C-alpha cells in the first residue's frame, strides 16, 4: 500500500512538473517582446494604456520604457502597425500655428510623429517625449522602421 501511494505521489509530481515546464516553454516562444505589448519585429513600441514607449532591435528592448504623452479625447493617437516615413530635426506644425515639434519622427498618416514636447498635456495624436528621449528616438529610428502602437 505504501509503495502504491509513493508511486501515485511521484507520478502526480511528475505530471504537475511537466505541465508547468510546458507552460513556461510555451510562454517563452511567443512573438511578443517581454514587458511590452509589441511584436519582435517592431523597432518602436507605444503602449497607450501605460503611456510608455520603447525602442527595440531583434526582439529585445534597447531603450526604455520612457514616459510619453499621447493624443487626447477626439485626437487619439492611432493604433496599429506603421512605418517611419519622414524625419525632421527642427519641424514646426503646419496645423497648429507653427508650434515647434523638434526631433520629429513621422510614422502614421496625418503627420503623427514622435517628437519632443510637454508630457503634462495630451497631444493632437502625436507621441510626445522629453528632450533626451526624443533625440534618442530620432537617432535610432530610420525610414521604413516598424512602429507599433497598442
Cβ neighbours around 56 below 10 Å, total? 24
User: At 79, is the pLDDT very low, low, confident or very high (cuts 50, 70, 90)?
Assistant: very high
CA 61 – CA 57 distance, rounded (Å): 7
Q: List residues with catalytic annotation.
A: 115, 126
- The pLDDT score that the predictor gives to residue 11 is 42
Give residue 8's Cα distance to chain centre: 47
Give the chain's radius of gyration (CA, Å).
Answer: 22
Task: Reduce the DSSP state of residue 62 to 3 states and report it.
Answer: strand
Q: Are 115 and 135 in contact (CB under 8 A)?
A: no
Which residue has 492611432 as its cell numbers?
78
Task: Give CA–CA dist 60/122, Å, rounded.
Answer: 28
pTM here is 0.78
Q: Are 78 and 133 in contact (CB under 8 A)?
A: no
Convert the pLDDT of each residue in 81-137 to its tens digit.
Answer: 999 999 999 999 988 888 899 999 999 999 999 999 988 887 899 999 999 999 999
Looking at residue 64, its pLDDT comes to 98
- Whole-number pLDDT of residue 120: 86
pLDDT recorded at residue 21: 37
Average pLDDT over residues 61-72: 96
pLDDT digit string (tens) for 28-47? 335 799 999 999 999 999 99
SS3 132: helix
Amino acid at each position: 500500500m505504501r509503495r502504491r501511494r509513493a508511486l501515485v505521489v511521484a507520478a502526480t509530481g511528475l505530471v504537475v512538473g511537466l505541465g508547468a515546464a510546458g507552460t513556461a516553454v510555451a510562454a517563452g516562444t511567443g512573438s511578443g517582446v517581454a514587458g511590452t505589448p509589441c511584436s519582435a519585429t517592431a523597432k518602436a513600441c507605444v503602449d497607450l494604456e501605460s503611456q510608455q514607449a520603447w525602442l527595440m532591435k531583434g526582439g529585445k528592448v534597447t531603450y526604455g520604457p520612457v514616459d510619453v504623452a499621447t493624443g487626447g479625447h477626439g485626437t487619439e493617437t492611432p493604433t496599429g502597425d506603421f512605418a517611419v516615413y519622414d524625419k525632421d530635426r527642427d519641424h514646426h506644425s503646419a496645423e497648429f500655428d507653427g508650434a515647434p515639434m523638434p526631433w520629429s519622427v513621422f510614422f502614421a498618416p496625418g503627420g503623427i510623429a514622435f517628437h519632443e514636447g510637454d508630457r503634462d498635456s495630451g497631444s493632437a495624436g502625436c507621441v510626445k517625449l522629453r528632450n533626451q528621449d526624443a533625440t534618442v528616438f530620432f537617432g535610432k529610428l530610420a525610414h521604413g522602421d516598424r512602429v507599433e502602437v497598442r
